[in-house]
Amino acid sequence: MRTYGKYIALKSITVYGGVNINPQIDALRRGIDILVATPGRLLDHVQQKTVDLRQVEILVLDEARRSGRTCSSPPPSPTRSASSRARS
């Protein structure tokens, strides 16, 4: 976000779980133009009333997991389901 918006006067923030929510709350209170959020953390902010979705101009819901997997990594191998193991 910072690289692409380097020369544009828009304020953006990315919010996601697994980290301290307080710095995110501080940034939201200062005002933003673009919010990028994972669904769970967005719900946390909505419930705490630190995000008012009526005032958000751009909202991106990002369901990606931070697993360290890159596009060049092979996909995980399929696993057998519990029901198929039970029949074996």
Average pLDDT of span 65-81: 53
CA distance 69 to 35: 24
Q: How does DSSP assign 14-47, residue by residue?
A: EE-SSS-SHHHHHHHHH--SEEEE-HHHHHHHHH
Contact status, residue 30 vs residue 55, Cβ threshold 8 Å: no
Residues 52-65 pLDDT 10s: 888 766 666 667 66
Predicted confidence at residue 10, as pLDDT, reads: 82
Predicted confidence at residue 88, as pLDDT, reads: 47
Residues 22-46 pLDDT 10s: 999 999 999 888 888 889 999 999 9
